[in-house]
Structure 1
């Protein structure tokens, strides 16, 4: 048993996605279910920070944060032709991430400084890694990722400061900025991932590149998201923020138009990548409409953006990169396709719950259904991919 555990640990530490994608999946699956239960217990250790803020923070910095660690420390070395981090350094980052999650699980305000230090440390490690890589490798294409993750670090610092000082308005604004920062990262990631995956599907032999993305769509979404972020930081009126968010949402929706590539459009990989942009765009539109005082619950747009746009993007990366980085051929099994349906179902159940003003309790049927389907999506993925991720020295044809 000890030898088997050591072999599994060695395999997980061989590449960042092998370690952090399962951690992200476990956290993404467990937290919403715990949230339904823990909220009923009212997070008894919380004194200053409302449970709803802990929930938002833990979904962003917890689940999506682990996915970000796995993505950056796997993709950036591949893009820049350098050795990837492995072994002890990855486990140290995982430990720091875990300390923050323990504090968030308890909702323990008294341990807030410890959680803040841990989360800012691993986020800072990403910023340092990107900076050093960009300078040493002259990788100018990493500047966008550096901008957004530095913005995420600042947003997390502001949110944690608000938690520690009881400035809940600052914390609320900072968490919204963190949502926008993650959405900016998503836009850049999809711009890098979608073309090569689309070409693999259109020409499995990789003899040609039949799909070439429209250059005007490449970074339009992240640029307009940055404008919306600037409006929030500068204290723009709700109406101005609303129009900026609608513009950013329209750009994300426009990006999803590249998914229409003929019959291959119906491949799950294409639907998922395009759907991530579409749901993120729709979520931004709904939040923007709410800021313009239209009869749209902002919470509905927020969950469509985070659970739908970010969540579908994360699961897409898990499914596609998990195949290519463990030597498996591209193509998704039926259970994994079902996981995407579960995630979409959970998202729309949560959005409908935000519109249902008659049952505001998060223990209502729609909330519970949303949590169960969302959790099921990530657990199904983990069940299907664990045997590849935990196996050392696979065929190893990275994509």
Structure 2
């Protein structure tokens, strides 16, 4: 008796969620720019500013996070990955939440909140079930930031309903995501770098995770928590300056300067570099520049880099960024710098937001054009990469 073949798109968690996240990222910023310019309007529960912030923090990022977790957890536990109908249902839930937040479903604010929170809570619940079933106790800790991100999302909705604008929820969302990057990025960046450098011959290798990393993480958690709840606290600017120095030193210990021939590695180092840059801007009391360096550069850059690498590795492609994906990442970096440094309006009314938004959109469009077919088609037999190969299309 023959069986109906399962679509490749829903055969592994990274496939639908990375594709949805990238498509959303490419489409939502042009819509935001139209709203910002007064050419379009949304009927959801948030004002234009809050909708833009919410959908980046609690729309785009959770989709990437779901793809990452549903791909990493089977590796941690040795269990088969979730596939098929559960992924279809979760993808549908995520899409419904995006429509509801934009006002397309005409739901009351409380119902939008419930629908929006359901996705993160479902991701957390499935992750807990899989980790416990696999007795992989030490990785249960990754669920804590996911739960905190859901709490920040709830706070965002409640503030918007009661105060008309979300501030604590915004900062708490940033804090949760940035800490996840500090935690997970602080593991994968030196690990991938060490693996590659070990094959290149003698030379210094990244420092192993140790006391310095734990100090940096604890200090970051404390400062980000204080900033979330009390952004005007005296001494907070000095604390962010200290964080910038800590993470510059942490990054220097990972030997990114030796990765010049491997774009798939140095993009991770550059994405992490935007963390101390953003912290430095906050230390200088430049919140708009700081939040965009952190949001576009650190969060956007690290998620894009991780989606690239995971998609290559799990679809059988060589771990080589190639010209298209390297250019996509560099466009994203330019988007972050332009949005942080250029004024809102420039020559002929084209300023930071418009130019930055165009570069962001082009970056994710490049990802979709290059990686999208990999995500929707079956994996190929793995080929051995040439470590010294130049970027190619």
Shorter-normalised TM range: 0.7 to 0.9
Q: 2:72 aligns with which of 71, 75, 78?
A: 75
Deviation at 1:164, TM superposition (A): 2.5
Deviation at 1:127, TM superposition (A): 2.2
CA contact under 8 A between 1:54 and 1:107: conserved in structure 2?
A: no
Deviation at 1:336, TM superposition (A): 0.9
Deviation at 1:366, TM superposition (A): 2.7
Q: What is the RMSD computed on CA atoms of the aligned residues?
A: 2.9
Decide whether aligned partners of structure 1 residues 321 and 184 sit closer, same or farther in structure 2, where only a CA change above 3 A counts.
Answer: same
Q: 2:302 aligns with which of 299, 305, 313?
A: 313
Q: 2:376 aligns with which of 378, 383, 390?
A: 390
Partner of 1:366: 352
Residue 322 of structure 2 is aligned to residue 333 of structure 1: yes
Deviation at 1:374, TM superposition (A): 0.7
Decide whether aligned partners of structure 1 residues 244 and 163 sit closer, same or farther in structure 2, where only a CA change above 3 A counts.
Answer: same
Deviation at 1:343, TM superposition (A): 0.6
Count of residues in Structure 1 that have an aligned counterpart in Structure 2: 378
Stretches of structure 1 lacking an aligned partner (at least 5 in a row): 1-5, 291-296
Stretch moving more, 216-225 or 59-68: 216-225
Alignment of 1:138-177 (within 5 A): 138-168=135-165, 171-177=166-172
Q: Aligned partners of 2:232, 2:174: CA distance in 1, in Å? A: 19
Q: Aligned partners of 1:396, 1:12: CA distance in 2, in Å? A: 19
Q: 1:16 aligns with which of 2, 13, 16?
A: 13
Q: Aligned partners of 2:229, 2:160: CA distance in 1, in Å? A: 21
Partner of 2:280: 285
Q: 2:220 aligns with which of 225, 231, 237?
A: 225
Deviations 1:263-322 (A, max 9, x none): 4245212221111221012112212331xxxxxx31110000010011110111011111
Deviations 1:141-192 (A, max 9, x none): 3244222111111100111112223352xx2111111011001111122133
Deviation at 1:40, TM superposition (A): 2.5
Partner of 1:248: 243
Q: Aligned partners of 2:104, 2:250: CA distance in 1, in Å? A: 38
Deviations 1:7-61 (A, max 9, x none): 7x71110111111111111111111111111223376444863211110001111
Q: Aligned partners of 1:376, 1:202: CA distance in 2, in Å? A: 31
**Normalized against structure 2, the TM-score is what?**
0.86
Decide whether aligned partners of structure 1 residues 69 and 288 sit closer, same or farther in structure 2, where only a CA change above 3 A counts.
Answer: same
Q: 2:84 aligns with which of 72, 84, 87?
A: 87
Q: 1:192 aligns with which of 158, 171, 187?
A: 187
CA contact under 8 A between 2:205 and 2:254: conserved in structure 1?
A: no
Deviation at 1:108, TM superposition (A): 8.0
Partner of 2:47: 50
Q: Aligned partners of 2:190, 2:276: CA distance in 1, in Å? A: 19
CA contact under 8 A between 1:36 and 1:368: conserved in structure 2?
A: yes
Q: Aligned partners of 1:36, 1:188: CA distance in 2, in Å? A: 32
Partner of 1:294: none
Find the residue that maps to 1:41 and give its secondary structure.
coil
**Normalized against structure 1, the TM-score is what?**
0.85
